C-alpha cells in the first residue's frame, strides 16, 4: 500500500506509523487530552464528611453534656484546655462548624491555629471520641483548597493518621482512612508522603470479608487516590502493593466500590506500556470487559476508560483486550444513548484500528463498521471526531480487501459531509483518507468507479471548494487530490488554479511581513 504524503507532525498522531512505541502512544494520547480533561472530575478528588452521626458506643462518650454550638473564640479556648471533656466539646463544635454544607469556615479554622492541637488529639488513644472528632475535623479541612490541605500536612497529621489505621475503634480508623484519602487526593506531592508513611500496608490489612460495606467503600476510594496523578506516577512498589487488592475489589458487586476500583485502574494504565503491563498481568481484563456492559454509568465509564488506556499499549496488550471480549462489547457502546460513552468507545476503537491488519480484520468480523458509520452520520461532533480518527487509522493500516469493505460500509458519504466542518485538523484527516482510498482504488483498477461514487456524493464539489480554503495546507491537499485523481475531468481547473496561486502569493507576501501562520495541530 503506498504511503500518504502527509506532514510528519500529523503522521505522529497515528499510533503505529513509523515511530517508536513511546512516541506513538504519547502523541495519540495528546490528541485525546480533551477527552480526559472533559471528565477529569467524574471521580471525586476530596470529600467532606457532613453526616452528623454518633461514632462510638455509649461507653466511649464523654460524661458531660455537649453544647449545641460554640463561637470560634470559645472553640479556641476549649481546644487549648487541659480538661479532656472541654477539649472534646470544643473539637466537636469545630467539627460541626466545618461540616456545614454551605461555606464551611475552613480558612478561619486554619488561621485560628487549631490544626496543631487537633493533631495532638489524634494521639490520645485513651480518648477515642476525641480522636474521632479531631480526625473528622482534619478530614474536612483537608477537603478544602491545596493550601488548606498543606496546612494539615505541615501540621504533622499524616503519621498520626496512619497510626490510627490500627485503632481498635472502627469509626476512628475509618475517619483516618477518609482523612488520608483527602490528603492523597490533593496531588502527587502529598500522595507520595502518605505512601512513604507506610499507609498502604495498614490500609490493606483492614480489608476482610467481614468489613462493613461503608468502610470498604472508603478504603477503596482512598486507594484510588493513592493511584491517582502521573507527574510523577506513584512508585512501583506502591503499585505492586495495591494491584492484588484492586483485583480483589474488582470482584465485588457494590457499585461504589467497583467505580472507584475501575478509576484506580484507569489511573494506573494511563502511562507507559510497562505500567499498562503491570495491570494487565494481574488478569483484570475479563472482569473489566464484563463491567463495560454495566447499566451503571459510574461503573461503565471508568471500566471503558481503563480498557481504552490498555489498547493504547503494545499490540500484545491490545490483543489481550480483544481476547477478553472488548470487541463484542464495543458495538453496543457505539450505540449507547450517552454521547460521552460513544466518544470513549470510539476513542478505544481508534487505537485498535491503529494496530496490525489482523486487528483490523477483527473489527470487520465483529461488525463494528455499521455503528461506526452511524456515528459519522448522526453523532455529536465530538463523537464524529473520534470516529474520523478510527477511519483514518483503519485506512492507513488496512490491506486492499479491508479497504474495499470499508468503502462498502458506506463510510464515504458522511466523510464527504464532514468536509465542511470548521475543524482544520479533521478536514485534513478526511482529505488524507480520500487520497489514500483513491490510491488503493488505482491499484485495483477501480479508480474510475470510485471517482464516480465520490462525485455522486458531492465529494468532488466539496474538495474543489476546499482548494480556496483559508488554511493553506487544506487548500494544497485538496488541490493535490483534484490534480492527481480528478484533474482530467475538470474544465474549470485552470481558472481555479490561477485563483489559488494568486491567493497563495498574497498569503506568502503577508506571512513574510507578519511571520505568523495558523497553527494546524
Say what the pLDDT of residue 394 is. Answer: 97
Say what the pLDDT of residue 154 is. Answer: 98
CA–chain centroid gap for 152, Å, is 29
Write the pLDDT tens digit of every residue in 142-178.
999 999 999 999 999 999 999 999 999 999 999 999 9
Write the pLDDT tens digit of every residue in 212-256.
999 999 999 999 999 999 999 999 999 999 999 999 999 999 999
Q: CA–CA distance from 215 to each of 132, 218, 246, 320, 476 (Å)?
A: 15, 5, 15, 34, 62
Instruction: State the sign of the Cα–Cα–Cα–Cα dihedral 488, 491, 493, 494.
Output: positive
Determine contact, residues 343/304, Cβ cutoff 8 Å: no
Cα–Cα–Cα angle for 306, 383, 350, rounded to 5 degrees: 50
Say what the pLDDT of residue 69 is. Answer: 81
**How far is the C-alpha of 509 from the C-alpha of 500, rounded, in Å?**
14
Question: Would you say residue 516 has pLDDT above 80?
Answer: no
Say what the pLDDT of residue 42 is. Answer: 53
Determine contact, residues 289/332, Cβ cutoff 8 Å: no
Write the pLDDT tens digit of every residue in 92-137.
999 999 998 889 999 999 999 999 999 999 999 999 999 999 999 9
| pTM recorded for the entire structure | 0.84
Residue 36: enclosing H or E segment and its boundaries? Answer: helix 33-38
Average pLDDT on 429-436 reads 97
Residue 448 confidence class, pLDDT cut points 50, 70, 90: very high
Write the pLDDT tens digit of every residue in 177-197.
999 999 999 999 999 999 999
Write the pLDDT tens digit of every residue in 15-41.
333 333 334 334 444 444 333 333 334
Average pLDDT on 357-370 reads 98
Write the pLDDT tens digit of every residue in 339-359.
999 999 999 999 999 999 999
Say what the pLDDT of residue 504 is. Answer: 52
Helix axis angle for 424-443 and 472-481, nearest 10°, is 20
Question: Would you say residue 385 has pLDDT above 70?
Answer: yes
Amino acid at each position: 500500500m503506498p504511503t500518504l504524503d502527509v506532514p510528519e507532525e500529523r503522521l505522529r498522531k497515528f499510533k503505529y506509523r513509523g515511530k517508536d512505541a513511546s512516541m506513538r502512544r504519547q502523541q495519540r494520547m495528546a490528541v485525546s487530552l480533551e477527552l480526559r480533561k472533559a471528565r477529569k472530575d467524574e471521580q471525586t478528588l476530596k470529600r467532606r464528611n457532613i453526616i452528623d452521626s454518633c461514632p462510638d458506643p455509649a461507653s466511649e462518650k464523654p460524661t458531660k453534656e455537649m453544647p449545641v454550638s460554640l463561637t470560634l473564640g470559645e472553640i479556641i479556648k476549649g481546644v487549648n484546655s487541659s480538661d479532656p471533656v472541654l477539649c472534646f466539646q470544643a473539637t466537636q463544635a469545630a467539627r460541626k462548624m466545618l461540616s456545614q454544607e454551605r461555606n464551611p469556615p475552613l480558612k478561619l479554622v486554619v488561621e485560628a491555629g487549631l490544626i496543631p492541637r487537633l493533631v495532638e488529639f489524634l494521639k490520645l488513644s485513651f480518648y477515642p471520641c476525641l480522636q474521632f472528632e479531631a480526625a473528622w475535623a482534619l478530614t474536612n479541612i483537608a477537603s478544602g483548597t491545596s493550601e488548606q490541605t498543606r496546612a494539615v500536612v505541615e501540621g504533622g497529621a499524616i503519621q498520626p493518621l496512619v497510626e490510627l489505621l490500627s485503632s481498635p475503634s472502627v469509626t476512628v480508623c475509618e475517619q483516618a482512612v477518609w482523612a488520608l484519602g483527602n490528603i492523597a487526593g490533593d496531588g502527587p506531592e502529598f500522595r507520595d508522603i502518605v505512601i512513604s508513611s507506610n499507609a498502604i500496608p495498614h490500609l490493606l490489612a483492614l480489608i476482610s470479608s467481614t468489613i462493613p460495606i461503608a468502610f470498604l467503600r472508603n478504603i477503596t476510594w482512598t486507594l484510588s487516590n493513592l493511584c491517582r496523578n502521573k507527574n510523577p506516577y506513584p512508585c512501583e512498589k506502591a503499585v505492586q502493593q495495591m494491584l492484588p487488592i484492586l483485583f480483589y475489589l474488582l470482584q465485588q458487586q457494590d457499585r461504589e466500590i467497583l467505580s472507584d476500583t475501575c478509576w484506580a485502574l484507569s489511573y494506573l494504565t494511563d502511562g507507559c506500556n510497562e505500567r499498562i503491563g503491570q495491570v494487565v498481568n494481574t488478569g483484570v481484563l475479563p472482569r473489566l470487559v464484563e463491567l463495560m456492559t454495566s447499566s451503571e454509568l459510574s461503573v461503565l465509564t471508568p471500566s471503558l476508560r481503563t480498557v481504552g488506556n490498555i489498547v493504547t499499549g503494545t499490540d500484545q496488550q491490545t490483543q489481550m483486550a480483544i481476547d477478553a471480549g472488548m470487541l463484542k462489547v464495543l458495538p453496543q457502546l457505539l450505540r449507547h444513548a450517552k454521547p460521552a460513552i460513544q466518544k470513549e468507545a470510539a476513542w478505544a476503537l481508534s487505537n485498535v484500528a491503529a494496530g496490525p491488519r489482523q486487528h483490523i480484520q477483527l473489527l470487520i468480523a465483529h461488525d463494528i463498521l455499521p455503528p461506526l458509520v452511524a456515528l459519522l452520520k448522526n453523532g455529536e461532533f465530538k463523537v464524529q471526531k473520534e470516529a474520523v480518527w478510527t477511519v483514518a487509522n483503519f485506512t492507513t493500516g488496512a490491506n486492499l480487501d479491508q479497504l474495499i469493505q470499508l468503502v462498502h460500509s458506506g463510510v464515504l458519504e458522511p466523510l464527504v459531509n464532514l468536509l465542511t466542518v470548521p475543524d482544520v485538523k479533521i478536514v485534513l484527516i478526511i482529505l488524507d483518507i480520500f487520497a489514500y482510498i483513491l490510491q488503493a482504488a488505482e491499484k485495483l483498477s477501480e479508480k474510475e468507479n470510485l471517482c464516480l461514487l465520490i462525485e455522486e456524493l458531492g465529494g468532488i464539489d466539496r474538495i474543489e471548494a476546499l482548494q480556496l480554503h483559508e488554511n493553506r495546507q487544506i487548500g494544497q491537499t485538496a488541490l493535490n487530490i483534484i490534480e492527481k485523481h480528478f484533474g482530467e475531468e475538470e474544465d474549470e481547473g485552470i481558472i481555479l488554479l490561477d485563483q489559488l496561486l494568486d491567493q497563495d502569493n498574497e498569503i506568502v507576501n503577508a506571512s513574510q511581513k507578519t511571520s505568523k501562520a495558523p497553527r494546524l495541530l
